[in-house]
Amino acid sequence: MGIKLDGKKLAEKHREEINKFIQKKIHLGCEPPCMANILVGNDGGSVYYVNSQNKLCSKLGVKVKSIYLEENISEDELINIIQKLNNDKEVKGIILQLPLPKHLNEAVITSKICYEKDIDGLSSVSAGRFYKGEKGFVPCTPKGIIELIKSTNIDMQGKHAVIIGRSNIVGKPAAQLLLNENATVTICHSKTKNLKGICREADILVSAIGKPGFITEEYIKEGAIVIDVGTTMVDGKLKGDICFDEVIEKAAFVTPVPGGVGAMTTTMLIKNLCEELE
C-alpha cells in the first residue's frame, strides 16, 4: 500500500509563507496584490480552477478581478480585454484559463499577455525565457508537480520520468523541470506505441491526458511516484486520470483528485504573483 500525496497539506505550508509576505507588504503601507483571471465559456475543469483561485485569493487577502466571457467571443474582443488588463496598473498578474474554445487561436491570444504580468507563463516570451533557463515565471501546474515530488524526499536524479501528455501548459514544461532535476524524461502522447509498457518502466509517472480512470495498476511500476494531473467533471464530480484505489496498492506515492495537483497549482499561481511583487 502506497502513500497518498496530500496536495492540500503541502499547499498549506506554501500558503502560510504567502500570507506572511502579504501581511508584511500591507504593514508597510502597500496595497494587497491584485490579479485578474479570465474564463471563456464553461469548461468544467476551468470553472473548478477559477472557483478555487477566487476562494484562495479571498482567504489570503489577494484582490482578484474575475472576467467571465461567453464561449462565442471573438478573438479581437478577447485580445482587447487582455490589453486593457496589461495597462491596468492595479493588476499585477493575469491568468487566462485554457483550453480556449476551438475558434480562438490560443498561441496568438496568450502571446498578448505582457511578460511582466504573465504569472502562469503562457506567453511566447515567458516560454522562451523558461526553456532557456532565464529568470521568469514557472508554469504553475508543473511547478506544483515538482514540489509534490520533492515532498517525497526521493532524489529525482537519474530516475526515469514518464509524462503522458505533451501540452504546452503541463506536459512540455513538466518535462523541462524534471530535466532540470537530472531525471531522464520520456514524453508519451496519443501516437505513442506500447504506452502501457513504457509507463511500467517509470520511476515517476505523470498523467495529464484528461481521461478519467485511464491509468490502472497495469500501467504502474512497483514503488513508482504517480502524479495525477487529470481534471474532468463526471456527473458533477471531479475525476482524475488514475484509478486511485488500484494504483495506490502498487505505487509508493500517488496524488488524489481532488486534493492533489490542483491544490498546489492554485497556490503556485498566487506564489508567482507575490514573486512578481518582490
Q: What is the pLDDT of residues 35-93, one digit of tens each?
A: 999 999 988 778 888 998 999 999 999 999 999 999 999 999 999 999 999 999 999 99
Determine the pLDDT at residue 43. Answer: 82
Mean pLDDT, the chain, rounded, equals: 94
Q: List residues forming the annotated binding site.
A: 165-167, 231
How large is the average pLDDT for residues 144-172? 97
CATH class of 140-261: alpha beta
Write down the domain spans for the chain. Answer: 29-117, 140-261
In terms of average pLDDT, the best of 48-52, 78-82, 236-240, 270-274 is: 78-82
Determine the pLDDT at residue 67. Answer: 96
- Residue 24 burial (10 A CB sphere; 0-12, 13-18, 19+): exposed
Q: What is the DSSP letter of 257?
A: S
Distance CA 89, CA 69 (A): 22
Determine the pLDDT at residue 52. Answer: 87
Distance CA 240, CA 108 (A): 29
Q: List residues forming the annotated binding site for NADP(+).
A: 165-167, 231
Q: pTM higher than 0.75, yes or no?
A: yes
How large is the average pLDDT for residues 150-159? 98
Going by pLDDT thresholds of 50, 70 and 90, the confidence category of residue 254 is: very high
Q: Is 233 helix (H, G, I), strand (E, B) or coil?
A: strand
Calculate helix-pair angle for 7-27, 261-277, nearest 10 degrees. Answer: 20
Determine the pLDDT at residue 276. Answer: 55
How large is the average pLDDT for residues 248-266? 95
How large is the average pLDDT for residues 112-125? 93
- pLDDT surpasses 50 at 278: no
- pLDDT surpasses 60 at 262: yes
Calculate helix-pair angle for 140-150, 171-180, nearest 10 degrees. Answer: 40
Pick the CATH number of 29-117 from 3.40.50.970, 3.40.50.10860, 3.40.640.10, 3.10.129.10: 3.40.50.10860
How large is the average pLDDT for residues 158-166? 98
- pLDDT surpasses 80 at 140: yes
The proportion of the chain whose per-residue pLDDT surpasses 90, expressed as a percent, equals 84
How large is the average pLDDT for residues 235-253? 95
List, in sequence order, the alpha helices (H) in the chain: 7-27, 44-60, 75-87, 106-110, 124-131, 140-150, 171-180, 195-199, 244-247, 261-277
Q: Tell me whether domains 29-117 and 140-261 share a fold.
A: yes
Determine the pLDDT at residue 194. Answer: 97
Cell numbers describing residue 101: 474554445
